[in-house]
Amino acid sequence: MEWTYVDEYEKLLFRMSSPRVMIDNASCADATIVMIDSARKHGILLEAVQVLTDLNLSIKKAYISSDGRWFMDVFHVTDLDGNKLTDESVLNYIKQSLGTIHYGRSKSFEGLTALELTGTDRVGLLSEVFAVLLNLQCNVVEANMWTHNGRIASLIYVNDNDSGSPIEDSQKIDRIEAMLRNVLKGDNDIRSAKTSVSLAVTHTERRLHQMMFADRDYERKPRIKTCDESLVVAVQNCLEKGYSVVNIQCKDRTKLLFDVVCTLTDMQYVVFHATINTAGDRASLEFFIRHLDGTPISSEAEKQRVILCLQAAIERRASQVIFCAFIVY
């Protein structure tokens, strides 16, 4: 009887804490409305936005509200062509995915080794990195690279070329790290070039943001002007309610909300309320935030750091991109 009681109690807690997801295709003429009602925990907003952006959905509007230990998110979404979602299999997948966000989500890279690289961007760097991996008998399965303010962050997923297994030989891993670090250093990056091997449990694009943030790309002088010269980020304190208010005006694009929420979350801020609106090619975002301990931003220096970090997060994905195709015979 005792074990039965424990099992039923755990089931009750599960039902109470599991997100309740509702999808409304009737109330709005030009978007599908996705509503999530759930117990609040740090990072759950990011997980919800991650689900929607990983499905290549465009978030046209959003309303986020948190009251005590609960939160309600309302997203107005379309496909990338601006159409409402009508495929029942897609709608069911959204419900299923959002219903499990309390347990974290990341793309599966089981059987692969993740190489993390940061350093100074330069012409020919990517070719040199791939040449090293080829010589070391590493098979590249997937590669992601971001550049911003003259810096690069890259996640490369590899396995052993002969066995197809993850690379676990510590001597080989040390050799890979050392050779890639030499490539990244080049002639002028002796101190800041970094390489490491991870188990790739973090969402790829979130990890790229974290790597750029750790590399402090937001403090470096831009080589070129941002693609969106109208980008404005402002931070003010709403002392009577104990919040800091972040306002962002910029060009709208896919994954914009993910990039902003990812940065706020990893900087250890909690979003209590937010409003996101888009009109044409413009986006307006307002966030009411606090630290994890419940306090607002406390100094002018911290305000400026938040502004710089959010500007960098928005610009990273909007930077000029060169698309490369690799064919291996």
Let me know if the fold of 19-99 is the same as that of 113-199. Answer: yes
Separation CA 84–CA 33 (nearest Å): 9
The superfamily (CATH) of domain 19-99 is ACT domain (3.30.70.260)
Q: Which tokens hold the place of 48? A: 């919800």
Tokens 């940061």 — which residue? Answer: 118
Each residue's pLDDT tens digit, 13-62: 445 567 899 999 999 999 999 999 988 888 889 999 999 999 999 999 99
Tell me the chain's radius of gyration from C-alpha atoms: 22
What SS3 state is found at 290?
strand
The terminus-to-terminus CA distance of the chain in angstroms comes to: 63
* The CATH number of domain 232-318 is 3.40.50.11060: no
User: Which of these, 184, 257, 174, 253, lies nearest to 215 by C-alpha position?
Assistant: 184
For the chain, the domains span 19-99, 113-199, 232-318
184-200 as b/e: b if 16+ CB within 10 A: beeeebeeebbbebeeb
pLDDT tens for the chain, residues 1 to 329: 444 454 664 555 445 567 899 999 999 999 999 999 988 888 889 999 999 999 999 999 999 998 777 889 999 999 999 999 999 999 999 999 998 876 555 566 778 899 999 999 989 999 999 999 999 999 999 999 999 999 999 999 999 988 888 888 899 999 999 999 999 987 666 557 888 887 666 899 999 999 999 999 999 876 555 567 789 999 999 888 899 999 999 999 999 999 999 999 999 999 999 999 999 999 999 999 999 999 999 999 999 999 999 999 999 987 544 444 343 43
- The CATH fold assigned to 113-199 is Alpha-Beta Plaits (3.30.70)
